[in-house]
């Protein structure tokens, strides 16, 4: 057991929290979305929280924890839904929410501190130069920019710009190492992959530079269809229609749209599947023309909605990505979800085939994204949960049908991703965190290099039984 009193003394002058209920609060993210992670991680808790205000304070904290062998788990806003920010080995939670300044905003790019909230960044860039971030998670109003880079993958905007890890979607990050004398490294280009989506296992991001694009007053449009296949084909067509500028194109099958989008329920019939679209104001008429060519009907559009609807209804992006899951969970706490890929070019056929196999047990939710210049879709299906065994079986059937699953019921990088270790991230961890103190238990390649990814067993971090 580390000498926490000694550590607190080392950190004099830096904001520290040791009150058990406050530490517990800052030791949790949205892991509970998964009944499996809820069972495994509910007891997880750090020992103390440090809230630095500057890079100098981050460096002091890392040096002190390094000297005393105290694990450090970085936290942005704690909205990760794979348990990314859960301190599996206890230790210090490094809460970067207070380092949230937007340092420079101008045409082309923005420079911000790690804890800057995405919506706040956009407010600053719109005011400075009429531009905005290319993409954001549906947790736009709460999540931090470094948490998005280290723990997220893409979201609203990915239909135009692809994933966050695609080259060009992050310009630069400054990373601090976990060593006796922490170093600050600048990563750009290919090197960004060392820390991008690495769950803070191999360095602490202390500054980011993100590319910008033209800002628009995006119009929210919901289009209804009598069949899921019609909604999916329409959404695919919209996403591929280069002249119609969209920021979000998703699909939610009946009856989930009606049953779970409670505040929009009066617009959506029980048996309607819907396409969810954010479109630039100048392209709304073109979108409506596409609807007229399809067998759909515009159910809602924010630009012609009543003043009270515009004020009171949540923005459409908060019906999309994992907010769809959140809305379902609020109505039916037994719902859980999956994240999968329907690969191009047969994505629509696979959507239909998987919907057929599972029927009402797995309700289709699609998010259209651009992959290497072509449109495919992710599935964030809503699953009627019965048991862990059945959940594993549903995952296996998806994979056998050619749809890889990024399993949100696993807390490790590899199992939640491509089921293989990332050699660049592992090599960087050896360099930047030689003692393995950053977010222990999340990178199997570090914890158990002999782990067999081809087998079907789940990795269990020994530190969890602490
Ligand atoms: C309702 C809901 C909707 C969501 N929608 C999306 C979505 O559309 N797209 C998407 O990609 N994700 C989505 N997520 C997941 C999550 O909200 C995002 O990935 C978000 O960007 C995480 O930001 P955060 O500040 O909350 O990070 P945290 O949860 O605090 O951290 C995430 C990971 O990053 C690490 N980290 C945080 N800050 C740093 C740092 N400075 N340096 C190094 N590592 C760091 C943490 O250790 C952790 O491993 C959703 C989650 C919920 C609950």
CATH number at residue 277: 3.40.462.10
Taking the C-alpha atoms of residue 112 and residue 133, their distance in angstroms, rounded to an integer, is 12
Which one of 41, 76, 318 would you pick to mutate in the ligand 1 pocket, going by the greatest count of ligand atoms within 8 A of its CB?
A: 76
* Closest alpha carbon to 251 in 134, 374, 365: 365
List b or e across 187-215, with b for residues whose CB sees 16 or more CB atoms inside 10 angstroms.
Answer: beeebbbbbbbbbbbbbbbbbbbbbbbee
> Can you tell me the distance from the alpha carbon of 22 to that of 75, in angstroms, rounded to the nearest whole number?
14
Cβ 287 under 6 angstroms from ligand 1:
no
155: in domain? yes
Q: What is the mean pLDDT of residues 239-253?
A: 97
Asked whether residue 195 falls in the same domain as residue 67, the answer is yes
CB distance 327 to 379 below 8 Å: no
**246-252 vs 365-371, strand pairing mode:** antiparallel
Boundary (domain end) residue, out of 372, 400, 428: 400
Domain stops at, among 373, 400, 427: 400
- For residue 405, tell me if it sits in a domain: no
The whole-number pLDDT of residue 421 equals 85
Nearest residue (CA) to ligand 1, atom 7: 137
Residues 110 and 184 in one domain: yes
- For 235-245, write each residue's pLDDT tens digit: 999 999 999 99
Pair 161, 136: CB distance under 8 Å: no
| Cβ of residue 317 lying under 6 Å from some atom of ligand 1 | no
Nearest CA to ligand 1 atom 8: 137
Residue whose CA lies nearest to ligand 1 atom number 45? 200
Q: Both 347 and 420 in a single domain?
A: no
Identify whether residues 224 and 119 lie together within a single domain: no
Q: Which whole number is the average pLDDT over 328-344?
A: 96
Distance, CA 170 to ligand 1 centroid (Å)?
Answer: 15
211 and 224 fall within a common domain: no
Report the pLDDT value the prediction gives residue 80, as an integer from 0 to 100.
Answer: 96
Nearest CA to ligand 1 atom 3: 322
Domain extent, residue 241, equals 219-400
Q: Taking residues 120-124, report their average pLDDT.
A: 98
Q: Does the pLDDT of residue 64 top 90, yes or no?
A: yes
Ligand 1 contact, 315 CB (< 6 A): no
Is residue 463 very low, low, confident or very high in pLDDT (cuts 50, 70, 90)? confident
* Sign of the C-alpha dihedral computed for residues 282, 316, 172 and 206 taken in this order: positive
Cα separation, 141 vs 443, whole angstroms: 29
| 442-449: average pLDDT | 95
Q: Is the pLDDT of residue 40 over 70?
A: yes
Cα–Cα distance between 453 and 329 in angstroms, integer? 31
Domain co-membership, 369 together with 445: no
Q: Report the C-alpha gap between 161 and 15 in whole angstroms.
A: 39
Ligand 1 centre to CA of 413 (Å) is 13
Better-predicted residue by pLDDT, 1 or 321? 321
Confirm or reject: Cβ of 426 under 6 Å from ligand 1: no
409 belongs to a structural domain = no
User: Is this prediction's pTM over 0.95?
Assistant: yes
Q: Which residues of 105-133 are buried (b: 16+ CB within 10 A; e: fewer)?
A: beeebbbbbbbbbbebbbebbeeebebbb
Task: Identify whether the C-beta of residue 210 lies closer than 8 Å to the C-beta of residue 109.
Answer: yes
Q: What is the pLDDT of residue 129?
A: 98
Instruction: Please identify, among 366, 400, 434, the residue that sits at the C-terminal boundary of a domain.
Output: 400
Whether 433 is covered by a domain: the verdict is yes
pLDDT of residue 30: 96
Tell me the CATH number at 191: 3.30.465.10
Q: What is the pLDDT of residues 190-219, one digit of tens each?
A: 999 999 999 999 999 999 999 999 999 999
How many Cα neighbours within 13 Å face the side chain of 135?
26
Give the dihedral sign, CA 87/92/94/95. positive
Domain identity same for 422 and 375: no
Is 271 within the bounds of a domain?
A: yes
My answer on whether 266 and 338 are in the same domain is yes
Residues 205 and 223 in one domain: no
Spatial contact of 31 and 38, defined as CB atoms under 8 Å apart: yes
Beta bridge partners of 276: 222, 250
Judged against a pLDDT cut of 80, whether residue 138 lies above it is answered with: yes
Has residue 461 got a pLDDT over 70? yes
- Of the listed ranges 10-24, 68-82, 91-105, 414-428, the least confidently predicted one is 414-428
Confirm or reject: Cβ of 114 under 6 Å from ligand 1: yes
Would 407 be classed as within a structural domain?
no
The whole-number pLDDT of residue 384 equals 97
Looking at ligand 1, which residue's alpha carbon is closest to its atom 33? 151
Q: How confident is the model at residue 339 (pLDDT cuts 50, 70, 90)?
A: very high
In the chain, how many domains are there? 2
Is the distance from CB of 176 to CB of 206 less than 8 angstroms? Answer: yes
203 shares its domain with 260 = no
Verify that 177 and 263 share a domain, yes or no.
no
Average the pLDDT over 247-272 and give the result.
Answer: 98
- Helix, strand, or coil (residue 271): coil
- Atom of ligand 1 lying closest to residue 82 CA: 15
Q: Are residues 203 and 236 in the same domain?
A: no
CA distances from 275 to 238, 300, 317, 319 (A): 10, 11, 12, 11
**Mean of pLDDT over the chain:** 96
**What's the rounded Cα separation, in Å, for the pair 277 and 223?**
8
pLDDT > 70? residue 466: no
290 Cα: distance to centroid of ligand 1 (angstroms): 35
> Measured from the CB, is residue 275 less than 6 Å from ligand 1?
no
Answer whether 87 contacts ligand 1 (Cβ < 6 A): no
Phi, psi of 221 (to 5 degrees): -130, 135
Residue 218 and residue 281: Cα distance in Å, rounded?
6
pLDDT of residue 351: 98
Using a pLDDT cut of 90, give the percent of the chain over it.
94
For the residues 44-63, what does the mean pLDDT come to?
Answer: 98
Does a structural domain hold residue 85? yes
Give the per-residue pLDDT at 1. Answer: 59
410 in a structural domain: no
C-alpha 54 – ligand 1 centre gap (Å): 21
Ligand 1 mean position, distance from CA 431 (Å): 24
């Amino acid at each position: 057991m580390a000498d926490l009193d000694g550590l607190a003394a080392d950190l004099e002058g830096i904001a520290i929290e040791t009150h058990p209920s406050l530490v517990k609060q800052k030791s949790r993210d949205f892991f509970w979305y998964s009944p499996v992670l809820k069972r495994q991680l509910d007891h997880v808790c750090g020992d103390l929280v440090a809230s630095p205000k500057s890079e100098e304070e981050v460096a002091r904290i890392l040096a002190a924890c390094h000297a005393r062998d105290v694990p450090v788990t970085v936290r942005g806003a704690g909205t990760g839904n794979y348990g990314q920010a859960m301190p599996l080995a206890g230790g210090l939670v490094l809460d970067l929410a207070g380092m949230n300044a937007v340092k420079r905003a101008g045409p082309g790019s923005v420079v911000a501190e790690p804890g800057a909230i995405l919506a706040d960044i956009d407010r600053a860039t719109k005011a400075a130069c009429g531009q905005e971030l290319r993409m954001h998670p549906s947790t736009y109003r709460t999540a931090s920019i470094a948490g998005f880079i280290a723990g997220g993958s893409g979201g609203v905007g990915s239909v135009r710009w692809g994933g966050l890890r695609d080259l060009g979607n992050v310009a630069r990050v400054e990373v601090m190492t976990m060593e006796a004398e922490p170093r600050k490294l600048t990563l750009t280009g290919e090197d960004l992959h060392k820390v991008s989506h690495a769950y803070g296992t191999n360095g602490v991001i202390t500054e980011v530079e993100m590319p910008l694009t033209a800002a628009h007053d995006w119009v929210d449009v919901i289009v209804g269809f009598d069949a899921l296949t019609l909604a999916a084909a329409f959404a695919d067509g919209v996403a591929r229609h280069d002249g119609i500028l969209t920021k979000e194109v998703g699909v939610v099958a009946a009856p989930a749209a009606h049953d779970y989008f409670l505040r929009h329920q009066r617009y959506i019939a029980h048996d309607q599947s819907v396409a969810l679209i954010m479109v630039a104001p100048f392209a709304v008429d073109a979108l409506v023309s596409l609807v007229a060519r399809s067998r759909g009907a515009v159910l809602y559009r924010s630009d012609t909605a009543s003043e009270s609807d515009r004020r009171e209804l949540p923005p459409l992006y908060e019906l999309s990505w994992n907010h769809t899951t959140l809305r379902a969970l609020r109505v039916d706490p037994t719902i859980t979800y999956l994240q999968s890929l329907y690969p191009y070019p047969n994505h629509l056929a696979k959507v239909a085939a998987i919907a057929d196999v599972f029927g009402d047990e797995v309700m289709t939710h699609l998010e259209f994204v651009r992959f290497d210049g072509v449109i495919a879709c992710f599935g964030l299906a809503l699953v009627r949960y019965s048991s862990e065994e059945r959940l594993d079986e549903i995952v296996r059937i998806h994979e056998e049908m050619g749809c890889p699953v990024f399993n949100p019921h696993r807390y490790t990088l590899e199992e939640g991703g491509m089921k293989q270790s990332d050699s660049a991230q592992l090599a960087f961890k050896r360099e930047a965190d030689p003692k393995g103190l950053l977010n222990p238990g999340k990178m199997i390649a570090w914890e158990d290099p002999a782990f067999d990814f081809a087998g079907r067993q789940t990795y269990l971090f020994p530190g969890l039984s602490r």
